[in-house]
Structure formats: C-alpha cells, structure tokens
Chains A and B, each alone.
Chain A
Amino acid sequence: MKNRLEALRKEKGIRQEDLAQALDVSRQTIISLEKGKYNPSLALAFKLARYFALPIEEIFDDSDERA
C-alpha cells in the first residue's frame, strides 16, 4: 500500500527517530512504512492519523488494493 508518510514527516521537519519514539515503534518500522514494504496495523494507522492530524485516507492510498 502506498503512503505519504515520508512527505508528511519531512513537511513537519521531524526525524524518523522522533516519529518512531512518538509512536512507540522502532525506527526500522518507520523506514519499512515509508518504503511501503510494511502495512501498519489499524491501531498504528490511527496513531499516525492522530499524530499528523489527518484522516487515514489522506495518509494511506489503497487504490492498488481496490483495483
């Protein structure tokens, strides 16, 4: 699944370590999420949505999965 995580993080000017710490996950998880290698759990997706104050649909794009 594609996502805008890297762009959103850079817009906010935060490092991967800081985002990882804020979400209680490892930096490796953030790297995998940004690369689109790993799809987060619903709980982590909600945490990300709350962190960036955006709806989940604006962070994750599931158009590939729907096609």
Chain B
Amino acid sequence: MKCKAMQKAWLRGMLAVGVVLLLAGLIWAFGFGAADGLPMRLAGFLSGLGGAFTAIGGGCLLLNWLRGERRTKESALHMEDERGLMVAYKAQSVAAIAAVLAIVAMLIAALVRGDSFYMALGSAACILVALVKIIAWYAYDKMM
C-alpha cells in the first residue's frame, strides 16, 4: 500500500511538473515569442518535455482509475514481486539503451545540420546519462 501511495504521489508530481512546464513553454512561445530575443527552441523544448510528463503522469493516473481498485492492486503486486521487479529492471535497461541511442541519433542529426544548440543539448544529455550510470553503479555496489 505504501508503495502504491508513493507511486500515486510520483505520478501526481510528474503531472504537476508537466503541466507547469507545458504552460511555461506555451506562454513563452505565444506570450513573448522571438520578439524579445528569447530562443523559441527552448520554448519548444519546455513544452515538449512538459507535454511528455503530462501525458505519462496523466495517462497512468487515468489508466489506474479506469482499471479499478482490484486490477490496480494486482498490477501493483506484479510490480512488487521479485519476478516482476526483475522484468521491470530488464525493461529499464533496454529503455536506457534506447534513450542513449536516441541521444546519439540527435547528436548525429545536429552534427550533420551544424546545429550548435542541439549539439550542446545532446552532449549535456550524454553526460547526464553517464553520470546517472556512474551514480547507480556506485549506489548498487554499496547496497548489494
């Protein structure tokens, strides 16, 4: 139950952050625009990120609500038991590989187009992924 409550809190948090980012991006794009010298790409990045967070948070909350209490409990149990966790970890590692590939693809596209903004963004994302991996390795090494 504690885990389920935490999951709900995370989803609500994600939804809230998503809505704020989406609104900030939209206000930036339509309220100020390029007239004030604000880069429109950043507005697009904010609204895109916000939209993704809103879709994930809102979608999962809606799915839980539609599934009903019993099926949500079953799903939560499936995510808590050891086999479910192992499957989730494996899926996460595959998702992480996919994320790295997506960043690499973005960097290649930026290199070809000579877009310095996306090159910098891609490089920052690569560094972030590497940092998270190093921290995860360190933390798991201490824990297990």
Query: Residue A41 contacts which of B74, B78, B82, B84 (CB distance < 8 angstroms)?
Result: B82
Known: A26-B74, A26-B83, A29-B81; 16 extra A-B contacts, CB below 8 A, are: A24-B81, A25-B81, A25-B82, A25-B83, A26-B77, A26-B78, A26-B81, A28-B78, A28-B83, A29-B82, A29-B83, A29-B84, A32-B83, A40-B82, A43-B82, A44-B82
In the bound complex, residues from chain B placing their C-beta under 8 Å from that of A41 are 82
Q: What is the total number of residues of chain A having a CB less than 8 Å from a CB of chain B?
A: 11
Q: Is the CB of B83 within 8 A of A38?
A: yes
Interface flags for B64-107 (1: CB within 8 Å of A; 0: not) read 00000000001001100111100000000000000000000000
CA distance A41 to B74 in the complex (A): 21
In the bound complex, residues from chain B placing their C-beta under 8 Å from that of A28 are 78, 83-84
A-B contact pairs, 8 of them (CB 8 A): A24-B81, A25-B82, A26-B74, A26-B84, A28-B83, A29-B81, A40-B82, A43-B82
In the bound complex, residues from chain B placing their C-beta under 8 Å from that of A44 are 82
Query: How far does the Cβ of A44 sit from chain B's closest Cβ, in whole Å?
Result: 6
Interface flags for A1-31 (1: CB within 8 Å of B; 0: not) read 0000000000000000000000011101100
In the bound complex, residues from chain B placing their C-beta under 8 Å from that of A25 are 77, 81-83
